[in-house]
Structure formats: C-alpha cells, structure tokens
Amino acid sequence: MVVPSLKLQDLIEEIRGAKTQAQEREVIQKECAHIRASFRDGDPLHRHRQLAKLLYVHMLGYPAHFGQMECLKLIASPRFTDKRVGYLGAMLLLDERQDAHLLITNSIKNDLSQGIQAVQGLALCTLSTVGSAEMCRDLATEVEKLLLQPSSYVRKKAVLTAVHMIRKVPELSNIFLPPCAQLLHERHHGILLGTITLIMELCERSPAALKHFRKVVPQLVQILRTLVTTGYSVEHSVSGVSDPFLQVQILRLLRILGQNHEESSETMNDLLAQVATNTDTSRNAGNAVLFETVLTIMDIRAAAGLRVLAVNILGRFLLNNDRNIRYVALTSLLRMVQSDHSAVQRHRPTVVECLREPDASLSRRALELSLALVNSSNVRAMTQELQSFLESCPPDLRADCASGILLAAERFAPTKRWHIDTILRVLTTAGTHVRDDAVANLTQLIGGAQELHAYSVRRLYSALADDISQQPLVQVAAWCIGEYGDLLLEGGCEETEPLQVEEEKVLALLEKVLQSHMSLPATRGYALTALMKLSTRLRGDNKAAILEKMPLVERGGTQDEEAKESKEAQLSEAALVATEPQASKLLDLLDLLDGTSGAAQPPPAPEPSPGGTLVHLLDLPCASPAPASIPNLRVFEREGLQLNLSFVRPPGTPALLLITVTAINTSGADVTHFVCQAAVPKSFQLQLQAPSGDTVPAQGGLPVTQLLRILNPNKAPLRLKLRLTYNHFGQSVQEIFEVNNLPVETWQ
C-alpha cells in the first residue's frame, strides 16, 4: 500500500503541532526519510511537492543538500509547476559554491530561448540571484537578446540580470552598454528602473562609460520632470507621490553624472530646485525623494543658493518628530561634514540635542557627527557635552566616545591643563574602555608640562584615593606619584584645594594598589616602581618600610627593567637580584638538555630584558594553589640531604605547573651554600623564584624551599633537569641529574 505523501500544508501542520524542539526534529527527520525514499524511487509526479517540503524544512535550519539533484530534474521538466519549485530550490540550495551549480546552465539556456514568459522569467530570476561568473559568460548573449523582446515582463528582468552579469564579469559591460540608450525611451516603469540601475553600474565601473552617459542627462531630467509634474497616477503612486522608487533612482544617477561636471550640473539645477521645493513631505515617500535630492545637490556643482537650500532642508528635518527622518538627516549631514563644514556647524546645537536620544541608532549617529564637528572654537563646550554623554551612554558606544574625546582633546586642547583635566575625567568615567596608548600619552603629556607637575600629581592622588579600580587611571597616578611625590607632600598648590598629604598615606595607598586583586600585573609594576622611586625622593625613615615590602617582589619584581637598572646598587642586599647571576649558569645547564631539546637557547625566564614571557607567567593568578593532589616525588638523596618535589596544578590555569623543591638535611652536618637550578625543554617556560635560604640545617632542621613555575602551553611531556651545588661535610658537591618518574598529571 502506498502511503500518500503529505502535502506541504499537512507537513507544516504537523511541525506546528510539535510541542518541543525534539518533537519537531523527530517529525522532520521522519518526513525527510520519506522524501529521500521518494527521490530514490524517482516519482516524477510528486517530486515538486517533495522538494517544496524540503525547502520548508531547510528554512527552519535542517539539512537539505540531498535535494540538489532534484532541483535539476524539476528544472528540466516541461511543466511550469515543476520548474517553479525547481528554480526556487536552485536559488536556495545551489549557490555557486556547490558542485552541482553549473549543471543548471543548460536548462537555463533552454528556458531563456523558448517562448513562455513565465518560464523565461524564472530562468532570469535564478540567473541573477545565483549565477556564477562562468554561467554569466555562457549566457550573456541570450540575455542580450531578451533586452529587446516585446514582453515588458521579460525585458525588465533581463535588464536587471544584465546588472548582475556585469558585476560578476565586468568585461560584459561592452555588450550591455549599447542597448541602454534605446531602453531609456521605454515608458514601462519597471524597465526604466532596471535601465537606470544598469547605467549606474556601467558608470561606476568605467570612466569612459560615465562620459558616454553624460549625454543622457537632459533625457533623465525630462523623465523626472514628467514624473514630478504629472498629476496623480494610481498605477505607480505611493502615498500620493508618483513612483518614488524611480524618482530616487534617477536622482542617484544624476548625482553620479553631475559630479565634477559643470555642464551636467547646470542642466539639472532647475529641476532639482523644483523637486526640492515642491515635494510633499507629509509622507515617507516624499521625504525619501527629498533626501535624495538634497544628497544630489550637495554632490554636484550646484549653484550656491541651491546648496544653502539643501542644508536648510536637512536642518529642518533634524527637528522633525519622526525619528526615521532625524536618523537620515544625521546620516546625510555626516556625509557632507567634510565638504561643507561651516554649513553643518550651524546645526551643531540640534545635533548635540540628539545625543540625548534614548534611541541607540540615533545617539550613535549623533556621536559620530558631534565628533566630526569639534573644532578649536567649540572644543570646550563640545567636550563638556560629550563627557556627559559618556557618563550615560550605552556600553557599546563607550569605547568610541572615549577615544573620540581623547582625539579631539589632542587636536584642539586650548591649554595643557585643560587637556590633562579632560583626559583625567575620561579615565575616571570610562577607564576600561580607553585604548592602550592613553596611559603613555598622558604620562608624556604630564612629563612635558613642568609647570603642571604639582597640579597633576595632586589631582591624580585625589582621584586614586577615591577609586583604585580603573587600571589606566591607577597606572598614570602611580607613575605620577612616583615621579613627583615630593611635590605632593610639599604642601599647597594654588590651583587645587589645599591638601595635606602624609608620607604614610601615600605609601599606604600604593600598597593598597599592589595588594588589590583588581590590579593587573602592569599596574602592580607601576606601583612598585613608584615605591622604589619614592625611597629616594622622600626624606625620613623609609628605608625600613620599603625593605619590608621586599617579599612582594617575588610576584612582580623582575618585571620592571628600569627599576632594576637604577636601583640595583641600592637594593643589592635584597633577594631581588638573585635572578641575574643565575642567568649565565642556567645557560650551562641548558647545554645539558641540548641533546634532547634541540638548539641551545637562552633560558626564557630570568632573561635580563623583560620579555613577554615573564608577563605571560605573571598574568597567571598568584593565588595560593588549590589542592590538585599530585603525589610528591623524592628526586635526590645523598648522605642525608634529601630533595623532594611537590606539584600543584592550579585549576584556573591548565598550562601552569608549580613545583616546590624542598631540601631537608637529616645528617649531622649543615649543608651550606646550597643552590638549586633547573632546566626544561625549550617549549616550556620556567621561572625560578628565590629560595628561602642557602643553608639546610642539620638534624632535619628547617628545610630550604624554592618555587619553580613552569608554563607548558603545548601540554608536551615534562622533562626536568636539576643541578645542585653545596658544601657538605667540608666538601663541595655538584650534582646534575634528570628527574625521572615525573607523574603524568604534571603535564597532561
């Protein structure tokens, strides 16, 4: 018994009856199985119905590629019903990336040349939607023939198909240029519309064509004039305007032809004035025509009076109640802000009003236009407006607004102090949205303005005291305090409120920044540098306080090169510099791993120049490692000195491995001058932190610990070589060995 296949409507009914996504999927899969079977059986009668159903489920997002060949069969069928669904399927399923695409070329060729309008229309429609370059080349002459065929239905489609063909194969312009002149004499609006589109495409592609078509400007003017002055025509009217679509197209073509060409511009002057003054603006259609007219006037060599008229029309529309009109007005003003700056400036107050629009599309346009309107005379007022906009604007506009203000400030700042104030305000309001170079720019600006050092540091200090979360602001403030801390503590500065600041407070603030979980590693670096600078600039008993902070250096210390270079002498007693001498020894160590890991390379971690690698490692959270229970490993034992490794893989950072090396001495004599170094294969990054000491006391006294941080982004198998040097029982010992039996959890 043959189950009658579902009609499209019935399938849709069933799909709508499904209560859940899963049910819908089931219904569709079942039906697709039937459709597949039906395609296999090759039932020609219901093929179109099956394909129609398949196209429906395709719209809902289900796979339909197995229908591609069926499209071809349907297109080849003599029946119109079949062809219609087949061509629709081709447009939906057979774009030019599909292998089967070219196979429709022959069918299209046949259908174009046989006489039934409806079928020719289908073929043209498909060709213009999915026709590839190759197909267009093959079928160009067929389409050219159809440009002159009597049926207007076919001709208008042929014209638009020609546009598509030229886009795909620009050389075809030669074939389609000659018929245009004759086509312009058509009365049928559809053909005219297509012809004008075709002429625009030709002109945009070739200056020669552009020159050629300037001849038709008078004709176009005539057509437009007829449209505008003829009375109400039911046929083509949209809200009382005669064929606004055709009017807009003609205006666009006139714009292209009149640009930079006096003579053509002159020919259209009167008409443009007429359209601009006579168009009914109570409905959208009239406004569409009017806008196009305004754009054309502004782009061609129009008379001065006409230009003024155009800008005034736009100004009026900025005040229109209809938001669509305001949107288009803003867009149009943006287009002409470069060429007619002063004219657009006159509407600045209204534009600024639009910033306060709740509609995000409008406020975005208003922002772009406002930024373009800032100049040296209005910069203070405009920046004020933009700053208040920044405070309340939608998040996706923040970055643009912030960088726009900063750029405008850079170009037009009346005074340095105003400039600093402006940047400061932007950093406070939208610090997270500014570009990376904002910090560098501000520090340079402040650095260069000697008279404003005191002022800057006081303002920044106050801002920082209020809020330490905005990273760019914190960075600049920290830098400034470090540089000019003495000015900060000195006392009054005329330009700000008297602020009594004590050393303790300053140091406490910097420490707070250092400790805050919100601070990025770069920010911590700034704070640290500032502290170090202050240690020379401030008087008083600070050395002790500064030295107390040394343990923090383990986390962020080696990062700031500048700091090391200038402060090394002073801080040599601190453990900070421990990493330097290790560098050369590690080179030796890595030689040992050469055989296994390839060419010798300097160790990535304690390099003298702070590379990106350090930042990498330091980007990772320094939080105390969460328990990840990898078994400990005893790697070395000699005469009572034991070395154990314990491993932690912090959960948030899969590439990171923390190894704690613990040295315990159970013998009767101390181990002194204990140094442990490590090397890893070159795809890893290693950082050795300073050990807790270099003496491992006897009888199981306090062990020496050292932390190794290993970054393994490629999840390669871990290999580790250790080198120990120490004195024990009066002898100096050196041991080099590779750690075996590393548990897989350390690197997987």
Which residues of this protein are in contact with other proteins, per CB under 8 A? 1-2, 4, 8-9, 12, 16, 45, 52, 55-56, 58-61, 63, 79-81, 84-85, 88, 91, 95-97, 118, 124-125, 128-130, 153, 156-157, 160-161, 163-164, 189-190, 193-194, 197, 235-236, 238, 243-245, 248, 252, 284-285, 287-288, 291-292, 323-324, 326-328, 331, 358-362, 364
CB atoms within 10 A of CB 744: 9
- Looking at beta carbons only, is 58 or 212 nearer to other proteins? 58
Cβ–Cβ under 8 Å, residues 397 and 363: yes
- Smallest distance, other proteins to C-beta of residue 164, A: 4
Cβ nearer to other proteins, comparing 85 with 202 = 85
Nearer Cβ to other proteins, position 371 or 501? 371
Residue 4 or 652: the one with the smaller Cβ distance to other proteins is 4
Alpha-helix residue ranges (DSSP H) falling in 21-170: 21-41, 47-59, 68-76, 80-93, 104-113, 117-130, 133-146, 152-168
SS3 671: strand
**Distant-in-sequence, close-in-space partners of 530: CB < 8 Å, separation ≥ 6:** 478, 479, 481, 482, 485, 510
- Whose CA is closest to 264, among 211, 192, 305? 211
Q: Which of 315, 317, 323, 391 is nearest to 361 (CA)?
A: 323
The size of the chain, in residues, is: 748
Q: For residues 104 and 362, which CB has a smaller minimum distance to other proteins in the complex? A: 362
CB of 581 to other proteins, least distance (A): 52
| Rounded Cα–Cα distance for residues 482 and 487 (Å) | 10
- Least distance in angstroms from the C-beta of 92 to other proteins: 8
Of 124 and 630, nearer to other proteins (C-beta) is 124
Nearest-approach distance from CB 327 to other proteins, in angstroms: 4
Residue 240 or 668 with smaller CB distance to other proteins = 240
Whether the CB-CB separation of 218 and 267 falls below 8 Å is answered with yes
| Beta pairing partners, 736 | 723
* Least gap, CB of 49 to other proteins (angstroms): 10
CA distances from 363 to 326, 383, 384, 498 (A): 11, 16, 16, 40
Q: Minimal distance in Å, beta carbon 542 to other proteins?
A: 53
Query: CB of residue 235 vs other proteins: minimum separation in angstroms?
Result: 6
Q: Give the nearest distance from C-beta 478 to other proteins in angstroms.
A: 37
- 125 or 736: CB nearest other proteins: 125
Residues 6+ apart with CB under 8 A from 391: 429
Place of tokens 């919100």: 518
Residue 326 or 453: the one with the smaller Cβ distance to other proteins is: 326
Kindly state the smallest distance separating residue 74's Cβ from other proteins, in Å. 13
**Nearer residue to other proteins within complex by CB, 364 or 524:** 364
- Least Å distance, CB 147 to other proteins, is 15
Of the pair 295, 390, the CB lying nearest other proteins is at 295
Q: Which is nearer to other proteins, 123 or 645 (CB)?
A: 123
Buried b (16+ CB within 10 A) or exposed e, 154-190: bbbbbbbbbbbbbebbeebbebbbebbeebbebeebb
CB-CB contact of 499 with 462 (8 Å)? yes
> What's the min distance (Å) between Cβ of 252 and other proteins?
8
Under a CB-based contact definition with an 8 Å cutoff, are residues 332 and 291 in contact?
Answer: yes
Q: How far is the CB of 224 from other proteins (least distance, A)?
A: 15
In the complex, least distance from residue 95 CB atom to other proteins, rounded to whole angstroms: 4
How far apart CA 403 and CA 386 sit, in angstroms, is 11
Region of 285 (left: φ > 0; alpha: ψ -120 to 50; beta: rest) is alpha
- CB 460 → other proteins: shortest distance, Å? 36
Coil, strand, or helix at residue 520?
Answer: coil
Q: Name all contacts of 329-334 with Cβ < 8 Å and 24+ positions apart.
A: 330/354, 330/362, 330/365, 330/366, 330/369, 331/365, 332/291, 332/294, 332/295, 332/298, 333/369, 334/365, 334/368, 334/369, 334/372
Helix H or strand E segment including 203: helix 189-205
Residue number with CB closer to other proteins (83 or 533): 83
How far is the C-alpha of 606 from the C-alpha of 576, rounded, in Å?
12
| Closer CB to other proteins, 399 or 577, in the complex | 399
Report the nearest approach of other proteins to the CB of residue 610 (Å): 36
Collapsed DSSP state (helix, strand, coil) of residue 376 = coil
> CB of 74 within 8 A of CB of 83?
yes
Question: Is residue 74 classed as helix, strand or coil in its secondary structure?
Answer: helix
Nearer of residues 252 and 585 to other proteins, judged by Cβ: 252
